[in-house]
Amino acid sequence: MRMTFNVYGYLLVAGLCLLLLGGLVGFDHFSYDRSHFAQQIEDNIQNLEAEAVNQLREGDWINQIRSVQLTDRILSNTLINQIENLSKQPYTIYLYQKDSLIFWSKPGPIVDPLHREFINIPCVIRDHRQDYYVKKTEIADGQDRLQVYFKIPILPEEQQAYSIGVTAYRFGYPSPDNATLIRSIDGSPVAYIQLLSKEFSFGMQASILIVAMLALWSLCMAWIRWIHGRSEAKVSNANKILLQMSGVLGLRMATLFLPYHDFFDQLSLLSPIIQDIKFPYSTTDLLIDSSIFLWLCTLASQLYSRGQIAAAGARSVVHKKWPDRFMTAGHYLVVIMMCGLTAWILRQVVGQSNFRLDLGEISLFDIHHFLSILACGLIVMGVFTFSFQIVTRAIFYTTNFYERMIALLFAGVLSLPLIHLIKIDLPFVGFYLGVFIMMTLLDLYIEQGNKSVIWVMSWLVAISSMTALVLYKY
């Protein structure tokens, strides 16, 4: 039994998806406890501080390091293991003798007591996306006193999914709104913590993306079904197709104003891949737009084919040769511009994307490469589908093959400035030669009506060869 949906069925699916989106966002937003969040950060800082102090007291590794520096002897295996263990800790230890740095446990921005940023210690500093609590203590090593600085991360790794405001504590300054003061192990204030928002995890973002795409698809299908159900007396078939195309394109254009690339920051398929355009265009955008392009070309083909027989039967014996020839040239001009647009898209994907699309290294391909190739294939299919109907219509306007070839050459001349504007980065001779060969083969195929296997194989070889040559050039 075949299951079909009407307009209300698709609207119901879209409504359920929107409710599910609200439930997912709301559940994830309220699933963490704000009241204990700052306390967890404070406990983590105090535990790391206590652990760092215990590292100073364990063994005589500091004395061994100073002995190695003074005598130039070789490091022992025990000392090497202790240093490696220190480098794996989330905190960093810096040892100073007066103003000279003699040891630091791992690489990173140095805590320099002579720098104005570290005049008032303890303090809070920022390094990239992390805030650090810097604290100072002193230890005795023989007759010398060493200054020890701890750089402790305020936010643990598991809390990186949260958007947190960290404001350093300064005596006499007001506290930020809705902020909680956290303290070190000795009770001294460290910083104010503000829980601003929470970034969604990979699984949650993937779920939201799937539900959102299902909702948009349902809205598109509801619009298509609603337009399709209008009576012929109110809306003609041609206008129905145009309204369906306009509705889907309008909805897609509306989504471009939404900053969804920033929201889905955990999904690599929504990361920008094109370098030379301001809009953040991703692999998913390319696949969606190429699918819409193929669908639009299919609808446009139906638009051309509906009136084809009626138009052919209604033609009078006396032909309007010159208007028909100009119409033929106009149809060919549309096909040439579509081929130029396809070449431009291939140039962006292959030559201007963040990943290298080298067909000689297929073993190194990932999901971005395969989806991009699929999207390019959909675009080529759309161009061929629409070109087939365009050339079919051109044959009805101009029945003489040689006149059509002259119209094709005339369309090629008209397209020169337009092709130059879109910058396809291809030799004009090679581009137009490939387009003319494809159009000529298509014209002969349609005019003769020979749909044998040889013709199909010839088409596959021709289209595949031209696409491969364009990809190789970029």
Q: pLDDT tens digit string along 9-57?
A: 888 988 999 898 888 777 665 555 555 677 788 888 888 888 888 887 7
What is the pLDDT at residue 292?
92
Cα–Cα distances in Å, from 24 out to 30, 150, 218? 10, 41, 19
What is the pLDDT at residue 213?
92
Range of 97-101, 120-124, 211-215 with top mean pLDDT: 211-215
Tokens of 225: 């079904």
The confidence band for 251, taking pLDDT boundaries of 50, 70 and 90, is: very high
Residue range 94-100: mean pLDDT, rounded? 83
- Whether residue 315 is predicted with pLDDT greater than 60 in this model: the reply is no
Closest Cα partner for 307 from 174, 398, 231, 396? 396
Q: Strand 162-168 relative to strand 180-183: parallel, antiparallel, unpaired?
A: unpaired
Long-range contacts of 87-92 (CB under 8 A, 24+ apart): 89/51, 89/52, 89/55, 90/48, 90/152, 90/153, 90/156, 90/157, 91/48, 91/51, 91/52, 91/150, 91/151, 91/152, 91/153, 92/150, 92/151
Q: Are 154 and 141 in contact (CB under 8 A)?
A: no
Give the whole-angstrom CA distance, residue 315 versus residue 310.
9
- Whether residue 128 is predicted with pLDDT greater than 70 in this model: the reply is no
- Whether residue 2 is predicted with pLDDT greater than 60 in this model: the reply is no
Which residues make Cβ contacts (< 8 Å) with residue 198, sequence separation at least 6?
28, 29, 32, 161, 162, 163
What is the pLDDT at residue 316?
42
Give the whole-angstrom CA distance, residue 280 versus residue 277.
7
Three-state DSSP class for 397? helix
Q: Is the pTM of this model over 0.75?
A: no
Give the whole-angstrom CA distance, residue 207 versus residue 283.
18
Average confidence score pLDDT of the chain: 78
What's the pLDDT tens digit per position in 67-79? 777 776 777 777 7
Give the whole-angstrom CA distance, residue 251 versus residue 147.
63
Check residue 398 and report its DSSP letter: -
Q: CA neighbours within 13 Å on the CB side: how many for 290?
A: 23
Closest Cα partner for 371 from 284, 472, 295? 284
Q: Which residue has the higher pLDDT, 313 or 39?
A: 39
- Whether residue 281 is predicted with pLDDT greater than 60 in this model: the reply is yes
Give the whole-angstrom CA distance, residue 125 versus residue 116.
12
- Whether residue 89 is predicted with pLDDT greater than 80 in this model: the reply is yes
Buried b (16+ CB within 10 A) or exposed e, 456-467: eeeeeeebeebb
Beta strands in 86-156 (DSSP E): 92-97, 100-104, 123-127, 130-141, 144-153
Q: Across the strands, what pairs with 189?
A: 183
Lowest mean pLDDT among 3-12, 162-171, 334-343: 162-171
Check residue 364 and report its DSSP letter: G
